[in-house]
Structures are given as structure tokens and as C-alpha cells.
Structure 1
Amino acid sequence: MLLDAVSSLIHSMETNLNDIIPDLTKVVWSILELRLLVIISFFLQLFLILFGNRRKYIADTRLHISVWLSYLSADWIATVALGILSKDSKNPSVDPNFIIMAIWAPFLLVHLGGPDTITAYSIEDNELWLRHLLGLTYQLAVAVYVVYCSWNGSNLNYVTFPIMVAGIIKYGERTWSLWLGSSKKFRESILPPADPGPNYAKFMDDYTAKKAEGYQVELKVESTPLLLDHSQGAIANESIQDASSLHNGFYFFTIFECLFADLILSFQDHHTSQNFFQQEKISWNETFQVIEVELGLMYDKLYTKAVVTYSRLGIFLKFVTFFCTLSAFVTFSCLIDKAHIDFDRLITLLLFAGAIFLEIYSVIVLLSSSWTLHWLSKHKTNWKVDILHKSISCFQRCFKLSHTQRWSNLMPQFNLISFCLKDKPVKCIKIQKFFRIYQVFEKSYYQYTETVPGELKKLIFEQLREKSQKANDTEACKALCAQRGDRVLQEQEDCHDMAWSTKVEFDQSLLLWHIATDLCYYSDVNANSSCAVIQDCQISKLLSNYMLYLLVMCPFMLPNGIGHIRFEDTCAEASEVLQERKYISKREQVCQVILRVNTDVPPSKVKGDRSKSVLFDARRLAKSLESLEKDKKWSKKEKWEMISHVWVEMLCHAASQCRGLHHAKQLRRGGELITHVWLLMAHLGITEQFQISQGHARAKLILN
């Protein structure tokens, strides 16, 4: 009885639903469904080619989310549209315009191939190249089936052939680029050919034979001199902007790309790079520009069709696809009746115009890239090169393209006290809490970005170049990479009592110095402080907030530890302090309250080790830093110089411990300062990823 009643209820609901939705609406939707999908697919391609590459140098969450949604939706919508076309092709006589609609099938193949500016949204997408290859086979079969079903001998049928060729090339380029960007193929492309070395068996046969003949055989080892000249042809065209940086960046990229695959440098490469970047004439600005070029090239190699497009074959294929699209468009324009252009023909014309625009724009992007400008810089100035350079400069201004924009030059910031104080208003917070989404995005609301100042880059470069003088062997490099503020404290006799703060786990040390820097900052930065003191304070605070951002938002880039637990426990203790003093509304007040707490008895003796909070341990460290002025007679400038040096050393330690794969992942988010520091350390020889080679010597037999 109950089942019958439920069945009757469901049947009545279905009947009512059919009454609510008129048959006319269903008919309209069946007509518009495919057409809307095709138009949306086109506009998604337009969005991706315009903005897919801009995430390399724009660190904007809204842009990243938009690109992510477009990237995922583009494939899905094109696939669904092809499926609907194949379904309608079973009965092509139902729609008199089906012969026109069949032309959309190869266009959808072109869309599935995607634009040149983005092949992979994340580095993991490259591992799915085999799935894309299978998709190419399947989608090509569907497109061929649609064209076959629409075949009636009309001249319009022949328009599909050139578009089909363009679609196969585009989809094939994307699959090929994904394969080249996959971890296995990427590593294989970097590894040099196998080197068996000198023929040891033949050498020993000669040695034994000569000895048997009565000769006194001596072994002489001759060392092959190291080639320290990195030039690959002089820069012939100085009018190219950043020509020197492009020249050096392209050269060192071919050497240091192995670090992104967690491979090692040879001793020769290590020594060549170290000698070049240790030169006095190389400034910090030029060094960072070279690194920007290298990281920009790595982004292109992993996330775009650059490896395919910037080759001779790629340029040839681009001419083929453009010629196919243009010839098909001309043919279609001649065949259609211009007096009776309906909606389907308008959509087809839009697809043709869009495809031609995308081809032209992709050529402009190619010409405006670092790859083309580097090629131009190696050619002597003549009227042909000059016209091409001026045309490229014009395109760059018109389409807001620039080969000099290679990363965002921003460092995200996250402050523990601000997060606990909740001093930033959040829109619709009650609604978010009701739907339980506030907790998901809570940390991102209190994250912001700051421009990386030139003074900070200069400080990092100078400290690392000074260290690099000691990077002579692997043991020395390991010791330099292991330093995380302890060296700075050891060099200052007055700072020995603070050494405990750098001997604990790295995440604990980071939190201690972050809070202590905040506590000192608000008591020292005032109107009476000199510009030099304020600059050191600002650099220290920027690094402090940036390192905490890495701990909270990108923990995979830091050494392993329980940083998340320590952060949460410290926030809980800070929130407890704030709840007892509800009058507090500013960060300065929070710092004053924490500094007033007596910590004569260490917190660990009172609380034990159950809570991992470091709030009042950081207060002890802050008091020790303050005592440098009161008891040790340090100036504020000396104190903040020391603090900034500690932070630089901690940043460098974190950079050296992060795998190349994780650095590569962050390139799609506008780049990270820690990645630039990691590559700078490698250029200066401060890396564990190199091996002293014993193979640059050759043995000879001396007969007496």
C-alpha cells in the first residue's frame, strides 16, 4: 500500500512538471542548446588566449579563478557540443541547416586544441597527456562521423576539410606540449647523452701489452681546463630592450633548468655560473633580471605551447593552420547566399572571424615574446630587423604585451596579530558563517600583497654574494644552506643569549621571530626614527609577514614540521588574551599588552608541552632584542640591520630546502620571491644540487 501511494505521488509530480514546462520551451531549448554551447566555447577560447598567459606576472586571485574556470569549462563544453552534434547527425534531415552546423565540429576540435598561451593550468595537468591523446582520437572520430553524416555532395561539405586539418594540428600541438612538459619527458630532455668515458678496457690492454714488452710505463693525468666563457655570440642589436638580460638568461636557463627536475649541476657549470655572478660589474638589478628571464622561460616551457611553437616545425604548423582557416573562410563566404544569412550562418561566420583573430593574436604574442626578442638581439641592425622590431614594439603597445613583464614582483603578506585581531572588515560575514564558508576562506581575507622593494633585493644579493666566496665544495655549500639566522647571531657577541631561538625547529623559529619583529616594530617605528631605521624596519617586517604567509598558505615550500599546529595554538593563545581585554582594537595595543606580561618563568614550565604556542616565548625574544639598545648600547639601526639579516638568512634556508617542483608550481601564481632567491643561490654556487666531477681529467701512458 505504501509503495503504491509513493508511486502514485511520483507519477502525479511528473505529470504536474510536464504541465509546468510547456512543450514550446523544450523545443526552443533543443534549438538553442547546441548554438549556445558553440558560442560559449568560442568566447572561452577568446578569454583564455587573452588572459591565460597573464597569470605569469599577475598575482590576482580573481584572475586565477577565472582562468581556472575557463580552462576546465572550455574542454567540457566543446566535448558536450560535439556529443550533441553527433546525436543530431543520426537524423540530419530534421534540421535543414545541419550541413552548416557540421562545419562546427572541426571548429570544436580547434577549441579543444586550446590557445598557445595555456596548455596546462597546473603542472599536474602535464601528466594527463596520454588522456588528451586518447581524447584526440575519440573527438576526431566524432568530428569525422558528423561530417560524414552531413555529406550530400554540396560544395559546403569541402569547407570542413581545411578546418579539420587545423583542428588536428591544434589538438596535436596541445597533446605534444603536455607530453613534453610531463615530469618524465622533461627530465629526459635535460639529461645529457650517456657518457661511457674513456675506453678503460682498451687503455688497460695497452698498459699490459707495453709492460710485457719491457717498457717502464708511467701514468700521466692531464686536466682539461674549465671553459668559463658563457657567451653564445655577442649581442648584435643593442636597441632591443633588456638584450643583455635576455642573452644571459637564455644561456643560464639551459644549464639551470635541471634544478626544476631535481637533477644536479656539473662542477663545470657550477664554477662557470659562480664566476660570472661574483663579478663586481654585475649589479643586483641585472642579476634579478636574468633570473626573471629564466623563470619566465620555465613558465613558458611547462604551461604553454612554447616548446612546440618556438621551433621551426611549430612556425610551419602555424602557417598551415592560418592558411587552412583563411582558405576555408574565403570559400565559405563565396558559397553562402548573402541575401539569406540566418542565425546558424552568423554563428559560423563568428567562428571563422574568431579563429582568424586568434591565429593573428597568437602570432603577435609569439613576436612579442622573450624568445623572439632574444633571436632579434643576435642579428645585426638592418632595415629588415629594424622594421620587425618597430612592428613588434607597436604590437606590444596596442595589445599591452611586454616581454619585460615576467613576474608579479609582489610578496604576499600575512600577519598573525592582525589575523587574531580580525582588524579587516569582511563582507557578509554572518551569511558566510551561516553557510560554513567563512572558515574555508578566513585566512585569505587577511592576506595582502606588497611590492618587493629594490632595497630588499639588494640586501639579499649582497649577503648571498658575500657568502658565495665560501661555497667551494659540497660540504661548505651544505653548511651555508643550513644557516637560518644562527650565523648572524653567532657573529655578534651580544646576541649569544638569543641563539636558542634559531636552534629550535624551523617553523617554531619562524613564528618566534615573526611575533618578536612585530612587537619591536610598533615600539620603534615613530616620527623620530631616521629614514635608514625605517627602511630596515620595513624590510624586516615585509620578510617577517612573507615568511608567515609561506608557513600558513604554502607550507609545502618550507622544511617539514608542525608549523600549522604551532600557528593555530599561538593564535588560540593570542585570541584568549584579546577576549580578556575587549577594549583592544589596534595592533599597537596588542603589542603593548603582550610586552607587559612578565615572563621571568619560562612558559614551557607553566604550560608544559601540550600547547605548541610560542606567543610568550616570542615576547622573551623581543625583550632580548630591546635589551640590545638599553644594556648593550646598540643603536636602533644596528638592531634592525641584525634583524633584517636574520630574516634574509631564514628566507635563504627555506629556499634551499624547497624542491624545484614546488618552485615550478608557484610560477603560475605570479611567481614567488623565494623562488628567485633559490635560483640566485644556485647561480652564486650556494646549492647542494651539484657534484664535484672527477671526469675532466684524461690519463696518458708515458713509455721509458
Structure 2
Amino acid sequence: MFHNSSPLVVGGLFFIKKRKIMQIFPESVTKLWNEWELRVMVIFSLIFQILLILMGKSRKYSAAIWIRIILWIAYLSADWVATVSLGVLSNKSGDLKGHSAEADYVISAFWAPFLLLHLGGPDTITAYSLEDNELWLRHLLGFAVQVGVAFYVFLRAWISSTLNFLAIPIFIAGIIKFGERVWILRYTSSEHFIDSMLPNPDPGPNYARYMEEYSSKKAEGFKISSGTVIAARTEANNSDTTARDDTNTEAFILEKALYFFQIFMLLCVDLILSFHDVLNSQSFFQNISCDEAFKVIEVELGFMYDVFYTKAVVVYSFVYGFLTRFSLCCISLRCISFFSIISAFVAFLITEKQAYSTVDVIITYVLLVGAIVLELYAVFLLLCSDWTLIWLSKHENRVGKFLYRAISLIPLTKKRRWSNTMAQYGLIRFCLKDKPAKRSFIPRGLCIYKLLEKHLYKYSVNVPSELKKLIFELSLEKSKRASNFKAFKELCACRGVQVLKQENGLDQISKEKSKILEESVEVEFDQSILLWHIATDLCYHFDQGENSNSTNGTNRTASKLLSDYMLYLLVMCPFMLPNGIGLIRFRDTCAEAIEFFKERKSISNVKKACTTLLKVSTEIPPSEVKGDRSKSVLFDACRLAKCLQSLVTEEQWENDKKWELISHVWVEMLSYAASQCRWNLHGQQLRRGGELLTHVWLLLAHLGITEQFQISQGYARAKLIVQ
């Protein structure tokens, strides 16, 4: 609620309540507050800007919740404090007698344009969430009102003093920065961003003229027929890997990422790709390594984050392909803003300041220096960005190469582009209340424990390179296996069935086992996740004590990681999965598991719990005994686990073959979830350190496994054939 509240409304409520609250305190306290109120709020406004610019991009590559909390508080407070400060200045102007302005008010009024600068926000964050971009009209109203209030304060303080004239360049810089933010929010709102991504209207060949010519020739007695001519495509294939410069792999990855980013941005507005774009992308991704593929995707998603959450549209307009026509204007406005602040600072240094309070003079210096430092830091971030490195890599001259190498050596350019983590959640661990040690400090008796209970059992691990390789190889195999574009779209609907059909040896097992396996991936998707999660847990802990070779260990570890990750999505991010009753099934399954464990008090850890569950006889299907009132799948999962174990004990499978099957099913389920999740939900996760699911979504799209492309016959037109 407060996230979408307008600072104008909150500021108005502040002034209404303020008068009532101040009546409680003694007159001395009220006088002290009136004297320091504006000073404190202006300093806090600057502090919030520092926090936003320093931490604005941290959430791009960090999943730490404390970063999001600090940014959320700073983002909301920054606008509110600046708005209220302008209101305080406006109220003070009402206390002036006639047209005379006191010296204290004149220097206080000089702070008004700085507040406009703060309302413009830093380059590293314009929107906290995607919804903020949709509220651009509210920010436009705020822009009009706040500029009006600042101008009113400026006029009321006008006495033709030097300080009045120094406020003009800061005023210009503030309007530029504030207006820039509103324009970016408007541009990245869904309605306007779709418009920017649409191609120029194409009326096609002139049908009326064609038919006139056809009728004319026919009337003259000619025998007319119509033929079709396919025009050759003239555009270059920019994804050709033969152009790669192996001496600079990083530059190669950045350039390809920008190229594909400009094409695949269509997916972000639910538009469709041409089949030529998909073919180009496939030819590129099918001929590079797993590491390079995921690096390209990391950079691409980083560009998407920059566009929707920062001022990249303006700041990087010299690189951003379809905005190059704005680049000169954007750079000019930036220069005007920066040099306006510098000129005001230099002039203030040599201005007589004896008439003003020492405290106010110090605060003014802090605001001026703060504004300059923030601008310089923004320039530093610009130089260290991937956008600048791409721009420099395109210049083959010595200066460009030297600057590229110099910037590449700066530590800031080597930072992570996403968190590279995947959250983990275990149903059995949750039922046993076996949470990570670092979170065991919260007593269960507190009310906050119940509110945070779900979150206490979540933890994160780094995404291992072996898991990325498994996902890439299986996705690549599916991409190469598809014979036509219809087959690519059909792959988006696969969530385990294909793996079972293609697995050698499953056609030789009993019909009962085959039925259990097939039904486990044909039921509702959330039910499949729970079934395979519990079954994977049971098999994992059963095999934990066995000596397994490296291949077995890799597939087993990958299965466990994906199993816990998919359950995390089901419990903590159900909106990213297809619609269903996943949370109801999870709660019912947990209730049955807790009841089962309570009856067997000797169960003290996850491994013992898994061993005990596997001992339960499941000869009769649970649904025949329990009915369907409860949505629990606990013992259905036990049946599935026993079926998987029997592949080794009864069907003479190697243990690593069993885990290979399980890991492949999980990868296909992950791919299905990624394909079915809408872009806006993927986009929301970019501000939380990024999700593995989002990287898989874009990888699949690059390999052609997406429903968002059209099949066309290319550039064709009709031609009259006169005989």
C-alpha cells in the first residue's frame, strides 16, 4: 500500500498531523524543531540519494534480503523527504512580511533546486519494481507540482542577491534530472515500451495498382497469370561465430549479448520473433560452449535490468541501438546539468556569506559537494559499465583499445552480473523443523516465528557449473532434435514425458512401474513437483551412504539441487509456476508428514525420516485408501521412490543410470516452468539477484524452444505473368 502511495498525499498528511503533534511539546522544543526541521530533512534527503546510488545496482547481483529492505526504505523515503522539505520551505515563505526576505530564508530557498535534483534520483535506480514504471503519470503530476512549489519558493526569496542568481543553474539541473526520471518511467511503462519496440508500419505491395494493371492487361486480350517472387534477404547474419576474436573473448560476449538483447527484447513485451531471428540465435548458441552461453545470457539480462530499473535509456543512449537519435540531446542535457552544478559551486566559493548562518552555509557546501560527488560517481559507473566496454570494443583505433584495457582492469568491471545462486527448500526438513543453524536463534514461541516460519527453512547455494552444463547440454540436444518449428513449440509443453519415452530400458519394465512413472509426470504440474521432490529426497538419502562414481554423484547432486529449487518456487514463488493448487497440496502433504513423524518419535533427522518412509508398504495405491479430500501426495511419492529404486534392485539398472533419469526429468520440468512463466514475472526477479529459472527461459528462447515466434515465407510479392 505505501509503496504505491504518492509522496504528495503523504506529505499533505504530514503537515496536518504536525501541528497537532507539536502542541504536545514545550515551546522551547517546538522552537528548536522549527529551527532545525528543514536542515535535518535536507541532509537526510542527500543521505538517501547516497544510499540509492551506492546500493542501487547491488540487488542486480545480490539476493540478500537486507539490501532490498534498505533500498525499499531509501527509495520511498527519498521522495517523501524531498517533497516534505519543499512543503516546509513553502510554509516558511508565508511567514515573510511583504516582499522582504530574511537572509536565513534566502539561503534556505537556495536548497529548493537541490531537492528537485534529489527527486530526479540517481542513475542506478529509477524504479523499485516494474509497477513503478506504470505510475509515470503520478510522477508527472509530482514533477509539475514540485517544480511549481520550488519556483514559488524561489520567487518569494528573490531580492536580487548573488545567491538568488546562483540558484538558477541548480534549478536548471534539477528540472533536467527530475524530468529525465519522469520521461524514463514513461518510456519503460508497458504501453509506451511496446510502441517503441514495434517496427515501422508496412503497407505491403500496392494491391489496387496491381489489380488495375491486371484488369488493363486482361482487357487488352492478354492471357494473365499471377506468380510469386521471393526476395532475397539482404541483412547480414550478425550471429556468425566465425567473426570471433579469440584474443578478446569478453568483448566478443558483450557484443553478441547486445546484438541478441536488441532482438529478444521483443519477448519482454509479449511480441513475437521472426523465424530468421530464431535461426540466427540457434546457429550461434549451438556452436559455443556452456560457459559462453550462460555469460551471454547474464549480460543480456543485465541489459534488461538496466533498461527497466535504471536510467540506461538516457545514460547509455550512445550505445543503445534504437535510441542513437536521442544520444546527442541526452549527452547535451547531462553536460548542462553537470556544469550548472560546478558553476554554482565555484560561484558560491567566492560569494560573500557573512549575512548567512554558519550552519546554513555548511549545509549548502554539503549539498553542493554532494551533488558534484554524486555526478562524478555516476560518470565513474558509466565508464565501468558493460555498455561503455561494448562501445569501446567497436572502435579499432589505439585509443579505443587502450581505454578498453584500462577500464577492464578496474575491479568494479569484474563484478558479478547476477547472484549465481539458487534457493533451496526441503519439505521433509520443513516438517521436521530442521532449519539452518544460522536461523535457529528465533524462538518458536514468538508471534514473528509464525509469520516468518516459511522463510526460515529457505537457504541458497551457488549454481554449480556442472548443473549449468547439464541444463545446457539437454536443452541443446532438444533443440537439435526438433525437425521443424512446430516441433520447437511442442517442446515447450514437455515436462517429463519425453524423457521417459526416450529412456532406454523403460519399455522393458513392468506395466505397473511404467504406469507409476508416466502418471507422475502427467498429473497437474504442482503435483508432479511434490511427487518428484519427495521421491528424489528419499532416493538421495537412501543412496547417501553408498560409494558412487563421479558421474553418479554429479547427477545425484544435480537432482537434489533442482528438486529443492523447484519446491522453493512452488512454496515461495508460486506465481512463477502454472496455475494450480500447489500450496494446498504442500500444506496437506506437510500435515500428513508431521502426523506420521509425531507417531514415530525416534525420527530425529532427515535421513532417518526418509528411511522410515521408504519402509511403509504402498502395495495399495494411497488414493484408494484416503480418497481425494486431502490433497496430500506423501505416500504417492513413496510409491514413486520405490519404483525408482526398483529399477536398480529388480531391473538391473546401474545406480547412475537411475540418477541420470531423475536429473533429466527435473531439467525438463525446470524447462517447462521457465517456458510457461510470463516475462513480467521473470522481470520482477531481476531486482532480486536474478533467478536460475529466468536464465533457463532465455537460454531456451535462444535455442528456439519458445512459443513467441512466427513462421513466415520471407519477403514475397506477387508478379504478373503475361503470356
Secondary structure of 2:459's counterpart equals strand
Contact kept, 8 Å, 1:107 with 1:351, in 2: the verdict is: yes
Cα distance, 1:602–1:356 mapped onto 2, change above 3 Å? same
Q: Which residue of 1 aligns with 2:51?
A: 47
Contact kept, 8 Å, 2:244 with 2:252, in 1: the verdict is: no
Contact kept, 8 Å, 1:163 with 1:328, in 2: the verdict is: yes
Q: Write out aligned runs for 1:395-544 (5 A).
A: 396-397=410-411, 401-402=412-413, 405-424=416-435, 426=439, 429-430=442-443, 433-434=445-446, 436-492=447-503, 493=507, 494=509, 496-497=514-515, 498-526=517-545, 528-544=547-563
Q: Which residue of 1 aligns with 2:267?
A: 259
Secondary structure of 1:365's counterpart equals helix
Q: 2:694 aligns with which of 656, 663, 675?
A: 675
Q: Which residue of 1 aligns with 2:4?
A: none
Secondary structure of 2:175's counterpart equals helix
- State the AA in 2 paired with 1:164: F
Q: Write out aligned runs for 1:26-41 (5 A).
A: 26-41=30-45
Secondary structure of 1:221's counterpart equals strand
Q: 1:92 Cα shift?
A: 4.3
Distance 2:36 2:498 in 1: 69
Distance 1:271 1:586 in 2: 51
Q: 1:232 Cα shift?
A: 10
- State the AA in 2 paired with 1:333: L
Q: 1:339 Cα shift?
A: 11
Q: Which residue of 2 aligns with 1:76?
A: 80
Q: Write out aligned runs for 1:290-305 (5 A).
A: 290-305=296-311
Q: Which residue of 1 aligns with 2:130?
A: 123
Secondary structure of 1:699's counterpart equals strand
Contact kept, 8 Å, 1:42 with 1:354, in 2: the verdict is: yes
* Alignment partner of 1:369 is 2:385: yes
Q: Which residue of 2 aligns with 1:655?
A: 674
Cα distance, 1:18–1:449 mapped onto 2, change above 3 Å? closer
- State the AA in 1 paired with 2:480: Q
Q: Which residue of 2 aligns with 1:323?
A: 339
Contact kept, 8 Å, 1:117 with 1:305, in 2: the verdict is: yes
Q: 1:338 Cα shift?
A: 7.6
Cα distance, 1:19–1:100 mapped onto 2, change above 3 Å? closer
- State the AA in 2 paired with 1:551: L
Contact kept, 8 Å, 1:656 with 1:687, in 2: the verdict is: yes
Distance 1:83 1:606 in 2: 69
CA-to-aligned-CA distance 1:532-579 (integer Å, 9 cap, x gap): 211111110110111111111111111111001001111111111122
* Alignment partner of 1:155 is 2:162: yes
Contact kept, 8 Å, 1:489 with 1:496, in 2: the verdict is: no
Q: 1:632 Cα shift?
A: 0.8
- State the AA in 2 paired with 1:461: F
Cα distance, 1:389–1:476 mapped onto 2, change above 3 Å? closer
Secondary structure of 2:721's counterpart equals strand
Q: Write out aligned runs for 1:164-175 (5 A).
A: 164-175=171-182
CA-to-aligned-CA distance 1:611-650 (integer Å, 9 cap, x gap): 0000110000000000010011111111111100000000
Distance 1:274 1:215 in 2: 48
Distance 2:163 2:553 in 1: 72
Contact kept, 8 Å, 1:536 with 1:644, in 2: the verdict is: yes
Q: Which residue of 1 aligns with 2:218?
A: 211
CA-to-aligned-CA distance 1:522-541 (integer Å, 9 cap, x gap): 11123622222111111101
Q: 1:286 Cα shift?
A: 1.1
User: Which stretch of structure 1 is more off in the superposition, 307-316 or 385-394?
Assistant: 385-394
Secondary structure of 1:220's counterpart equals strand
- State the AA in 2 paired with 1:568: R
* Alignment partner of 1:547 is 2:571: no
Q: 1:233 Cα shift?
A: 13
CA-to-aligned-CA distance 1:379-415 (integer Å, 9 cap, x gap): 0141x22453355346x33xxx226632111111111
Q: 1:91 aligns with which of 85, 90, 95?
A: 95
Contact kept, 8 Å, 2:56 with 2:125, in 1: the verdict is: yes
- State the AA in 2 paired with 1:392: I
Distance 1:517 1:49 in 2: 44
Residue ranges of structure 2 left out of the alignment (5+ in a row): 1-20, 318-326
Secondary structure of 1:700's counterpart equals strand
* Alignment partner of 1:594 is 2:613: yes
Cα distance, 1:19–1:78 mapped onto 2, change above 3 Å? closer
Distance 1:690 1:27 in 2: 67
Contact kept, 8 Å, 1:232 with 1:251, in 2: the verdict is: no
Contact kept, 8 Å, 2:89 with 2:153, in 1: the verdict is: yes
Secondary structure of 2:227's counterpart equals strand
Contact kept, 8 Å, 2:126 with 2:185, in 1: the verdict is: yes
Q: Which residue of 2 aligns with 1:11?
A: none
Cα distance, 1:461–1:305 mapped onto 2, change above 3 Å? same
Q: 1:491 Cα shift?
A: 2.1
CA-to-aligned-CA distance 1:321-341 (integer Å, 9 cap, x gap): 110000001111111448987
Cα distance, 1:268–1:237 mapped onto 2, change above 3 Å? closer
Alignment RMSD, CA only?
A: 2.2
Cα distance, 1:471–1:315 mapped onto 2, change above 3 Å? farther
Q: Which residue of 1 aligns with 2:585?
A: 566
Cα distance, 1:21–1:660 mapped onto 2, change above 3 Å? closer
Say how many residue pairs are matched. 679
Contact kept, 8 Å, 1:423 with 1:585, in 2: the verdict is: no
Distance 1:162 1:297 in 2: 33
- State the AA in 1 paired with 2:45: S
Contact kept, 8 Å, 2:539 with 2:645, in 1: the verdict is: yes
Contact kept, 8 Å, 2:496 with 2:666, in 1: the verdict is: yes
Q: 1:291 Cα shift?
A: 1.1
Residue ranges of structure 1 left out of the alignment (5+ in a row): 1-16
What fraction of aligned residue pairs are identical, expressed as a percent?
A: 54
Cα distance, 1:480–1:340 mapped onto 2, change above 3 Å? closer
Secondary structure of 2:368's counterpart equals helix
- State the AA in 2 paired with 1:621: L
Contact kept, 8 Å, 1:237 with 1:381, in 2: the verdict is: no
User: Which stretch of structure 1 is more off in the superposition, 684-693 or 113-122?
Assistant: 684-693
Contact kept, 8 Å, 1:517 with 1:541, in 2: the verdict is: yes
Contact kept, 8 Å, 2:393 with 2:401, in 1: the verdict is: no
* Alignment partner of 1:274 is 2:293: no
CA-to-aligned-CA distance 1:113-166 (integer Å, 9 cap, x gap): 000000000000000111111111100011111111111121111111011001
* Alignment partner of 1:378 is 2:394: yes
Cα distance, 1:236–1:45 mapped onto 2, change above 3 Å? farther
Distance 2:209 2:103 in 1: 79
- State the AA in 2 paired with 1:208: S
Q: 1:61 Cα shift?
A: 0.6
Distance 1:31 1:475 in 2: 72
Q: Which residue of 2 aligns with 1:630?
A: 649
Q: 1:241 Cα shift?
A: 6.3
Cα distance, 1:56–1:18 mapped onto 2, change above 3 Å? closer
Q: 1:428 Cα shift?
A: 5.7
- State the AA in 2 paired with 1:567: F
Cα distance, 1:469–1:205 mapped onto 2, change above 3 Å? farther
Distance 1:41 1:175 in 2: 19
Distance 1:526 1:338 in 2: 81
Distance 1:18 1:164 in 2: 32
Q: Write out aligned runs for 1:194-273 (5 A).
A: 194-226=201-233, 229-230=237-238, 242-273=250-281
Q: Which residue of 1 aligns with 2:638?
A: 619
Contact kept, 8 Å, 2:290 with 2:469, in 1: the verdict is: yes
